[in-house]
């Protein structure tokens, strides 16, 4: 027996301001599936597009020969602006931890308006339909400047989900977060837990994302708030048993900088949002874990009054959340708990470095291990 489960996903945001479009080109997107099975299907999103997304052909490979996809029996599909669609099920073997390659040919001009910055690899071809090609003619892609001034690869557009039909995985956790989550601690936690617990940790992080406030058009790539996207990015994700809510840092740091100062919430407003999401999750039969908000002394947007809000919110999370994982304790400086420990600071006093991300992965793995009756090293 088996069921449809999510092997990979990315939460999407609005990248219309990037003003990137392509025509007569093939995109090749490489993802890693967290579940195994003998059938798969792919989700395409044109949620933030201003016009239709025309896909002339799409194929999926689980490591062997590429299999041509169909959409209600057709090899091409048009996804209207604001809509999403799934391919028909494909007979393609997917291995757990194995690479899955998705090719899609865009015959007409398609704005890359819907997508996300991603740790996965995307290639773009020379002109033409190169779907399923064993010798993909990739072109060199530019990087773009992120809101924090760093250089990032182009956002990966359109491809936003992979479902696999196979043996049931008992624990599938959607990790709803911001850039700290997008940095990779969910994948790290899954790797740490692999020897003991059959668990899937799905990364639903969006850089700049906030818990309770949607972004203005000027920062649309920060994505709809956690409250706004909870249905789509958590409750509608196949196989989900758990949700980890790791949002709140940007609610405190963005107002007065990239967002209006009036967006700054009170501690009670943040707590009410956590309660609201927790209630929706519990009603759907999901277990809920809320992560404490990590320190940000020294970063843009820090003020002592905002630190007080963080302190009150974290106290509530530790005492009243259904479950909590203490990311604050994992990363804070022992001598000054308002600041990230130097060993875990990327340098901007907000984002963890590689060691800090690994530290969060361990904290998450240890939390889930305790709940399931064992310990991780």
Residues 154-209: pLDDT tens digits?
Answer: 899 999 999 999 999 999 999 999 999 999 999 999 999 999 999 999 999 999 99
Is there a single domain that holds both residue 281 and residue 136? Answer: no
pLDDT, mean of residues 301-325: 97
The single residue listed with the structure tokens 């901007």 is 348
pLDDT, mean of residues 289-299: 97
pLDDT, mean of residues 12-37: 94
Write a three-state SS string for 254-320: CECCCECHHHCCCHHHHHHHHHHHHHHHHHCCCEEEEECCCCCCCCCCCCHHHHHHHHHHHHHHHHH
229-232 long-range contacts (CB < 8 A, ≥24 apart) are 229/11, 229/176, 230/176, 230/277, 230/280, 230/281
Confidence of residue 87 (pLDDT cuts 50, 70, 90): very high
- The b/e string for 78-101 (b: 16+ C-beta within 10 A; e otherwise) is ebeeeebbebeebebbbebeeebb
Is there a single domain that holds both residue 35 and residue 78? Answer: yes
CATH code, domain with 197? 3.40.50.1110
3-class DSSP assignment, residue 94: strand
Q: What is the number of structural domains in the chain?
A: 2
Instruction: Examine the pLDDT at 212 and tell me if it is beyond 80.
Output: yes
Q: Is residue 148 part of a domain?
A: yes
Is there a single domain that holds both residue 126 and residue 262? Answer: no
Residue 286 has a pLDDT of 98
Is there a single domain that holds both residue 264 and residue 229? Answer: yes
- Could you tell me the CA-to-CA distances from 114 to 16, 40, 221 in Å, in that order? 8, 22, 9
Is there a single domain that holds both residue 145 and residue 188? Answer: no
State the residue range of the domain holding 68.
3-161
Q: DSSP secondary-structure letter at 252? A: H
Residue 63 has a pLDDT of 82
Is there a single domain that holds both residue 35 and residue 178? Answer: no
Residues 112, 159 contacting (CB under 8 angstroms): no
Residue 375 has a pLDDT of 87
Q: Is residue 376 part of a domain?
A: no
DSSP states of 128-184? S--TT-SS--B-PPPEEE-TTS-EEEPPEESEEEEEEEESPPSEEEEEEESHHHHTT
Residue 252 has a pLDDT of 98
Q: Which residues contact 348 (CB under 8 A, 6 or more apart)?
A: 148, 299
pLDDT, mean of residues 50-61: 97
Here the tokens at position 209 are: 């994302």
Is there a single domain that holds both residue 156 and residue 179? Answer: no
Is there a single domain that holds both residue 342 and residue 363? Answer: yes
Of 119, 136, 161, the residue that ends a domain is: 161
Q: Is residue 46 part of a domain?
A: yes
3-class DSSP assignment, residue 186: helix
pLDDT, mean of residues 30-39: 96
Residue 146 has a pLDDT of 62
Is there a single domain that holds both residue 151 and residue 177? Answer: no
Confidence of residue 83 (pLDDT cuts 50, 70, 90): very high
Is there a single domain that holds both residue 119 and residue 235? Answer: no
Q: Rounded mean pLDDT of the chain? A: 95
Percent of the chain with pLDDT over 90: 90
Is there a single domain that holds both residue 73 and residue 178? Answer: no
Of 134, 161, 188, the residue that ends a domain is: 161
Is there a single domain that holds both residue 173 and residue 157? Answer: no
pLDDT tens, residue by residue, 327-352: 999 999 999 999 999 999 999 999 99
Residues 183, 357 contacting (CB under 8 angstroms): yes
Look at residues 240, 264, 337, 326 and name the one whose alpha carbon lies nearest to residue 295.
337
Residue 377 has a pLDDT of 77
pLDDT, mean of residues 42-59: 97
Residue 150 has a pLDDT of 65
pLDDT, mean of residues 270-292: 98
Instruction: Examine the pLDDT at 77 and tell me if it is beyond 60.
Output: yes
Of 138, 161, 184, the residue that ends a domain is: 161
Q: Is residue 377 part of a domain?
A: no
Residue 148 has a pLDDT of 55
C-alpha–C-alpha distance, residues 155 and 165, integer Å:
28
C-alpha–C-alpha distance, residues 218 and 193, integer Å:
39
Q: Is residue 258 part of a domain?
A: yes
């Amino acid at each position: 027996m088996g069921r449809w489960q999510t092997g990979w996903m990315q939460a999407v945001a609005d990248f219309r301001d990037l003003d990137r479009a392509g025509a007569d080109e093939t995109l090749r997107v490489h993802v890693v599936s967290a579940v195994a099975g003998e059938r798969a299907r792919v989700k395409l999103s044109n949620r933030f597009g201003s016009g239709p997304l025309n896909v002339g052909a799409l194929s999926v490979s689980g490591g062997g020969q590429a299999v041509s996809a169909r959409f209600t029996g057709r090899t091409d599909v048009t996804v209207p602006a604001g809509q999403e669609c799934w391919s028909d099920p494909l007979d393609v073997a997917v291995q757990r931890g194995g690479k899955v390659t998705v090719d899609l040919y865009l015959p007409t001009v398609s704005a890359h308006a819907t997508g996300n910055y991603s740790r996965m690899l995307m290639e773009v071809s020379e002109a033409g339909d190169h779907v399923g090609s064993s010798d993909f003619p990739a072109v060199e892609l530019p990087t773009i400047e992120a809101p924090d001034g760093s250089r990032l690869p182009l956002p990966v557009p359109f491809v936003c989900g992979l479902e696999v039909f196979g043996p049931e995985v008992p624990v599938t956790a959607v990790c709803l977060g911001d850039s700290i989550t997008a940095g990779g601690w969910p994948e790290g936690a899954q790797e740490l837990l692999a020897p003991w617990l059959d668990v899937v940790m799905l990364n639903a992080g969006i850089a700049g994302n906030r818990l309770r406030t949607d972004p203005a058009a000027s920062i649309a790539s920060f994505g709809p708030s956690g409250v706004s996207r909870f249905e789509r990015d958590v409750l509608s994700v196949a196989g989900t048993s758990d949700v980890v809510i790791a949002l709140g840092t940007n609610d405190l740091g963005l107002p007065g900088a990239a967002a209006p100062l009036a967006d700054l919430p009170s501690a009670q407003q943040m707590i009410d949002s956590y309660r609201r999401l927790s209630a929706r999750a519990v009603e759907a039969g999901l277990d809920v874990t809320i992560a404490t908000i990590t320190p940000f002394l020294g970063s843009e947007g820090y003020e002592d009054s905002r630190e007080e809000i963080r302190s009150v919110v974290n106290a509530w999370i530790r005492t009243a959340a259904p479950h909590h994982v203490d990311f604050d304790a994992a990363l804070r400086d022992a001598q000054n708990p308002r600041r990230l420990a130097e060993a875990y600071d990327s340098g901007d006093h907000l984002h963890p470095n590689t060691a800090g991300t690994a530290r969060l992965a361990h904290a998450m793995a240890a939390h889930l291990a305790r709940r399931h009756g064992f310990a991780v090293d």
